Structure formats: C-alpha cells, structure tokens
C-alpha cells in the first residue's frame, strides 16, 4: 500500500485528495488531531523532500527542513482557512518561507492581513470551497496547456529557485524575454481561472 | 485608503510567490501588497501554482523514523510565531508606513542614518541581501522638489508611501509603484504640500545625468 492511501475511509475522509487534505489540516487546527497530522505528514513530507532537493538542498538538510516545516504546520494549523487556500498551497507557502530563511539565509517580508494600513480586501465571490476545488482542476488543465517555453520559466521559478536573471543566463535569453514569458504564462493561467482583473 | 492605480508588473508578483526575489524586491512587493488588495489576490493565485507543483512532486522516501521524530516534538513548548510584534505594529501605524518595511528596518525612520543630498533631499541605503546586484534605499524629498534627471541600465521600482510624485504625465500617490525600464530618462517631481517618502529598488547602479548628482554617487552608494 502506498503511504498516501493510508487512512482513507478509516476516519471517513473524502476520496478527493485536495478535499481530504483540507479536512485533515482543519482537524489538526481545531482538535490537535495527531492521527490527522500523521496522515498529512505521510502525504506531504515525501513531496516536500523532492521540492527541497530541487531547490538545491542536500538530502540531510531537506530532512531537517521537513521537521521544521511540519512543526510549523502543526503550530499554525489553527490559522488555516480552507476558503482562502488549498492545503497544498498553504503548506507550500510555509515551506517556501522556511527554505528562503534556511537555504538562502534571506529575510522574507510579508504583508500583514491585520495591518491597519491595509487596503480593501478583494472578496472571493460565491462558494469559495467549491470555487477552489474547480480552480484546482482548471489550474491543472491550464498548466498543461501552457506553451513549452512558458511552462519552463514557471517551473524554473517555482521549483528551482531561479531568479529572472538566472533564467536569462541559463536559457541564453534577454532579461526582458524572461519577464514577458512569466507575465504571459500568468495571464494565461488567470484567464483559465476566470480572473479577468 | 485609495486603491493603488499603479502596480508592479506581474512578473514581480509571480516571482514573489515563487520566492525567487532578492530581499530588496521582495520588500517592495510586500509593502505594495499592504496597500493593494488586487495584487494580494494575484499573489494568492500565483501561490496556488506553487501548491499545485508541490502536490505534483514525485514523492521521495524519507529517512526511517522521520515521522516519529516530528511526532515526539509536537508538544515542545514553543511560542507560536503567529502574532507579529505589537510595538513594531504600533510604530508602523503611527508612521503610516507598511508593516513589512517597519519590521525590515526594525523601528522608525528617525532611527536611520539619513544622508543629506542637499536642497532638503535625504537618502539612506538599506542593508538588503540577495543574489543579484539589487540596491534598496529610502528617499525623502521636500514638496515641489525636482529630482535629478537620471536613467538606468536595469529596472527601477519606486513605491510612494507618503506625499506624491509626478513622473511625466502620471501621478503616484501612497501605494503606487512607478516602474521604469532600460534607458528611460526621467526626472520625477515631488507634488506640492507634503514631503514625499519613497522606497526605491534598482538592479543596477543609477546613472545620474546632472553633474552634482553624479558627484554625490559615491557618497550615497547608489
Ligand atoms: Zn497592486
């Protein structure tokens, strides 16, 4: 049995992975449920390991980082709002910030949602949970429909920690071309998600 | 609060979500996000790409005992790093500056060693780390001041946080980002009435056209 499939049914969990992960993360947040946490770990930790190694981490450092990241998941789970993000996206942001801190030794400035300076929130319309489930499917489809060169700059950015100029050097392209490919890829993805702004 | 009308290009938002920007660019984007709900939503959409790609990673086996090790630490008594420093937050509110900036400089603007560039213009270079040749500084200029005409070999991003700036036919108010690309000569003018405070990032040393400005370059390390 694959590690991923443990516990399916045992806690009467939804079959759809994204929905199941959101439910588990909420259980951790609300009930400090260790069993739910272990299931999340079994699903995400092996993926985090691949992610971190692609970001330039050694396997040893990746193991340590996963400990940090999953402890942060445990401690911050209360703040998780399934209306705002998929569980994978929420965990991704924690992993990203942690690896910037540890692997690059740089700070990661973030806006504060409660900042009195903060401008008006753009509210999600309709049923956000359904919307994000559909979004995830549409996003998957949209990613496969990107041109090869657009998909490449997106992957190099998100998975290989490559800056605009690093991509330009590696692909031997002008900096402006890299930037416009990123812009076009993002425009395409947002069109598919129906975000016209 | 007025919604910003001038935003950083989407490539900055995507790369902020991907986590590839230098501290300087990252801080400017995070500060703009403080003012701008539209760009916050765009970053959220871009983060979904990260979440999806994480989900699609081929799993790599973990060391034996990795899960037990983390389970054993769940009850460690550690303060949750959730709530941000109240003192800093109050500082930010008082100074009308975005929280990410106030956290970055660790206090208020008066704690910085401002260098005078003459005619009431002051600048301070902030210490920002990164892999590129990006530079970060804060600039304050009195009302009506015409800033030295200059151009760039790379990109310049300016976030207005106080007062306003006229650049060509456009006006930039707090929250707006003025982005200028290669070899674009410009000489922004500070609006009447209030001092202008900006956060500035460039990815190559600025070339000032004016002689005096050029003389000042080594002094302020632009
Ligand atoms: Zn914006």
Q: Does B33 contact A at CB distance below 8 Å?
A: yes
- Average pLDDT, stretch B137-143? 90
* CATH number, residue B126: 2.60.120.10
pLDDT tens for residues B175-202? 999 987 766 667 788 888 899 999 998 8
| Contact state of B18 with A157 under an 8 Å Cβ cutoff | yes
For residue range A98-118, what is the model confidence (pLDDT) as tens digits? 999 999 999 999 998 777 677
Confidence of residue A133 (pLDDT cuts 50, 70, 90): low
- Is the per-residue pLDDT at A76 higher than 80? yes
Say if B171 falls within a structural domain: yes
From the CB of residue B183, how many other CB atoms can be counted at a distance below 10 Å?
Answer: 9
Average pLDDT over residues B141-159: 79
Q: Which of residues 76-115 of B touch A (CB under 8 A)?
A: 76, 78, 80-82, 84, 89, 92-93, 96-101, 103-104
Number of domains in chain A: 2
B46 shares contact with chain A (CB less than 8 Å): yes
d(Cα B188, Cα B165) in Å, to the nearest integer?
6
CATH classification of the domain holding A146: 1.10.10.10
- pLDDT in the model for residue B133: 80
A122 found inside a domain = no
According to the model, what pLDDT value does residue B79 have?
A: 64
In a domain, B131, yes or no: yes
Q: Which residues of B touch A17 (CB under 8 A)?
A: 55
Q: What is the ipTM of this complex?
A: 0.91
pTM for the structure as a whole:
0.91
- pLDDT above 90 (res B3): no
> Is A187 in contact with B10 (Cβ distance < 8 A)?
yes
Which residues are paired to B208 by β-bridges?
Answer: B150
CB contact under 8 A, A186 and B10: yes
Q: Is the pLDDT of residue A83 over 80?
A: yes
Six-digit token pair at B185?
């000569």
Q: Is residue B135 part of a domain?
A: yes
The distance of B169 to chain A (nearest Cα, Å) reads 24
pLDDT for position B82: 53
| Range of the structural domain that residue A99 is part of | 1-108
Q: What is the arithmetic mean of pLDDT over B134-160?
A: 82
Local confidence band at B118 (pLDDT 50, 70, 90 cut-offs): confident
Same domain, A146 and A104: no
Predicted confidence band of residue A10 (pLDDT cuts 50, 70, 90): low
Q: Distance between CA atoms of A55 and A100, rounded to whole angstroms?
A: 10
A94 and A3 within one domain: yes
Identify the residue with better confidence: B221 or B162.
B162
In a domain, B144, yes or no: yes
Q: What is the dihedral of CA B102, B103, B106, B108, to 10 degrees?
A: 10
Residue B152 clears pLDDT 70, i.e. is over it = no
Task: Kindly determine whether residue B70 and residue A41, on different chains, have CB atoms separated by under 8 Å.
Answer: yes
Q: Cα B17 to chain center, whole Å?
A: 14
Return the minimum-mean-pLDDT range out of A36-40, A47-51, A131-135, B143-147.
A131-135
Residue A135's pLDDT is 77
Question: What pLDDT was estimated at residue B222?
Answer: 45
Which range, A124-128, A152-156, B206-210, is most confident?
A152-156
CB-count burial class (<10 Å; 0-12, 13-18, 19+) for A18: buried
Q: What is the pLDDT of residues A50-67, one digit of tens each?
A: 999 999 999 999 999 999
> Which of A8-17, A103-112, B81-90 shows the lowest mean pLDDT across its residues?
B81-90
> Are both A158 and A85 inside the same structural domain?
no
Tell the residue number behind the tokens 């060509």, with chain if given. B168
Which residue carries 């603007």 as its tokens? B109
Q: Establish, for the pair of chains A and B, how many residue pairs have beta carbons separated by less than 8 Å.
A: 242
């Amino acid at each position: 049995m694959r590690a991923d499939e443990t516990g399916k049914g045992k806690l009467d969990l939804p079959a759809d992975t994204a929905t199941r992960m959101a439910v588990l993360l909420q259980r951790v947040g609300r009930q400090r449920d260790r069993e739910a946490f272990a299931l999340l770990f079994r699903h995400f930790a092996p993926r985090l390991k691949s992610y971190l190694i692609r970001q330039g981490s050694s396997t040893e450092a990746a193991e340590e980082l996963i400990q940090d990241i999953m402890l942060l998941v445990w401690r911050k789970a209360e703040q998780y709002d399934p209306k705002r993000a998929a569980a994978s996206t929420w965990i991704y942001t924690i992993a990203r910030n942690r690896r910037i801190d540890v692997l690059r030794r740089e700070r990661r400035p973030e806006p504060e949602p409660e900042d009195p300076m903060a401008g008006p929130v753009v509210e999600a319309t309709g049923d956000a949970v359904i919307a994000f489930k559909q979004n995830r499917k549409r996003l998957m489809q949209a990613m496969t429909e990107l041109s090869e060169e657009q998909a490449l700059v997106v992957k190099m950015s998100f998975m290989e920690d490559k800056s605009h100029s690093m991509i330009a050097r590696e692909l031997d392209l002008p900096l402006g071309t890299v930037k416009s490919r990123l812009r076009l890829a993002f425009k395409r993805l947002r069109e598919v998600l129906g975000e016209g702004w | 609060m007025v919604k910003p009308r001038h935003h950083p290009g989407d490539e900055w938002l995507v790369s902020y979500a991907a986590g590839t920007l230098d501290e300087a660019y990252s801080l400017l984007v995070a500060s703009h996000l403080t003012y701008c709900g539209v760009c916050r939503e765009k970053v959220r959409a871009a983060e979904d790409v990260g979440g999806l790609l994480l989900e699609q990673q081929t799993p790599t086996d973990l060391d034996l005992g990795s899960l037990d090790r983390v389970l054993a630490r769940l009850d460690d008594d550690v303060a949750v790093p959730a709530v941000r420093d109240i003192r800093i937050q109050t500082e930010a509110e008082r100074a009308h500056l975005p929280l990410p900036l106030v956290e970055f400089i660790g206090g208020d603007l008066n704690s910085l060693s401002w260098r005078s560039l003459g005619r009431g213009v002051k600048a301070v270079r902030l210490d920002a780390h990164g892999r590129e040749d990006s530079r970060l500084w804060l600039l304050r200029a009195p009302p009506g001041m015409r800033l030295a005409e200059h151009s760039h070999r790379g990109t310049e991003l300016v976030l207005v946080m106080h007062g306003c700036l006229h650049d060509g036919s456009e006006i930039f108010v707090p929250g707006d980002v003025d982005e200028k690309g290669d070899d674009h000569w410009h000489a922004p003018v500070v609006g009447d009435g209030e001092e202008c405070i900006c956060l500035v990032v460039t990815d190559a040393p600025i070339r000032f056209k004016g002689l005096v400005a050029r003389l000042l370059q080594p002094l302020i390390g632009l």
